Amino acid sequence: MRALVVARPGEPAALVERDAPVAGDGEVVLRTDWTSVNYKDAMAATGRQGILRSTPMTPGIDAAGTAPDGTEWVVTGAGLGERRDGGFAQAVAVERATAVRVPQAYGTRLAAAIGTAGVTAALSVLALERLGLPDGPVLVTGAGGGVGGFAIALLAARGREVHAATGRADELGRHLRDLGAAEVVDRRGAEPGRPLQPPQWAGVVDAAGGGPLVNAIAQTLPGGAVAACGLAAGADLPGSVLPFILRGVTLTGIYSVDLPAALRQAAWDLLVQHLPASTVESLVDREAGLEQVPALAQEVLAGRIRGRVLVAPGR
Ligand SMILES: NC(=O)c1ccc[n+]([C@@H]2O[C@H](COP(=O)([O-])OP(=O)(O)OC[C@H]3O[C@@H](n4cnc5c(N)ncnc54)[C@H](OP(=O)(O)O)[C@@H]3O)[C@@H](O)[C@H]2O)c1
């Protein structure tokens, strides 16, 4: 089969012919119909270290495909493209326990378009709702990316007033409003500001990390909550405890890789409940074959993608 493989640490992924995988205990081999280029995949495919735990390995943290019995499954995270060969291949072995039946509304193509980005957005919304938010708008950072796009659509569908923070307000304003954003705000001001800023957000879904995350925490209303799910702006947290101890703000972490089956299913159920296929489709920026992944990975890292990049390994 054809697959992208990172041969040695620090090397970019290259297209090779390799043996198709064999199912181990508790596993099934899927024909990979569709996968996607997540931020993590872009890092792995361009040779950045810290994603793949060993080499040689096929990157790709998502896969949506067909089992030998004709059933369709989607796997997000669960070690794909990190601890085990991932979705950038014509076939992939997955643990049955981590696979979710592809929702009828979507098919494998749109299930891959949702992928880790959509699941992460859904986990963020579930986490904020579990904490119980006060009234008020919810901020989504990294709005033009995959996680951001799905978060906007889900929060708006849940009846929230969503403010979308983006570095591409002129280019993406219309798209973000179509997804459900009530306001589109410029993401300028990445340096952390004062520890307590005028409170405005009942909740935050943050894909940025670093200064933008610290500022969002400092702007959260008393009793509000912030879901930290990304590091597009940085992995540091250069802030203050004052919002936590003077406003009762909660900071909650989102981890989409290893999930209890019930939580994984709850995330997909939320997506199916609120996102019609047309909304998912509106978040697809491009489609490509395996050979285009290395170039597309550079585009992802440069922040030039709007939403999601789909990959059809069979092309
Ligand atoms: N916790 C988890 O399990 C989990 C799961 C999935 C993803 N993630 C992380 O979440 C983040 C977003 O993932 P994604 O798939 O949505 O990536 P993506 O599609 O590449 O989107 C990232 C977005 O972040 C924004 N951004 C880029 N540089 C920024 C900066 N310096 N300051 C503020 N915003 C910046 C950009 O949006 P604008 O151009 O609109 O500003 C960009 O489109 C990544 O860091 C990823 O690793 C974590």
Residue located nearest, by CA, to atom 9 of ligand 1: 230
- Does residue 211 have a pLDDT over 90? yes
To the nearest 10°, the Cα dihedral for 49, 53, 55, 58?
Answer: -90
Percent with pLDDT over 90 in the chain: 98
CATH number at residue 122: 3.40.50.720
Is the CB of 142 inside a 6 Å radius of any atom of ligand 1? Answer: yes
Distance 251 CA to ligand 1 centre (A): 18
Please give the residue range of the domain that contains residue 36.
2-114+259-311
| pLDDT value for 264 | 98
Looking at residue 13, what is its pLDDT?
A: 98
* Pair 109, 6 in one domain: yes
Burial class (CB in 10 A: 0-12, 13-18, 19+), 89: buried
Q: Map residue 101 onto helix, strand or coil.
A: strand
133 within 8 A of 225, measured Cβ to Cβ: yes
Instruction: Judge whether 147 and 69 are in contact, CB under 8 Å.
Output: no
Q: Tell me, using a 6 A CB cutoff, whether residue 120 lines ligand 1.
A: yes
Q: Which two tokens stand for residue 234?
A: 């940085």
Q: What is the pLDDT of residues 239-256, one digit of tens each?
A: 999 999 999 999 999 999
pLDDT (tens digit per residue) in 262-301: 999 999 999 999 999 999 999 999 999 999 999 999 999 9
Q: Same structural domain for residues 229 and 122?
A: yes
189 pLDDT exceeds 80?
no
- Closest to 293 in 3D by CA, of 102, 145, 154, 89: 89
| Beta carbon of 282 within 6 Å of any ligand 1 atom | no
Q: Answer whether 151 contacts ligand 1 (Cβ < 6 A).
A: no
Query: Which two structure tokens, joined as six digits, stand for 119?
Result: 């699941």
- Report how many domains make up the chain: 2
- Selection from 71, 99, 105, 156 nearest residue 272 by Cα: 105
| Beta partners for residue 30, in sequence order | 92
Q: State residue 85's pLDDT score.
A: 98
Specify whether 171 is located in the same domain as 142: yes
For the CA of 234, the nearest atom of ligand 1? 31
Residue located nearest, by CA, to atom 24 of ligand 1: 142
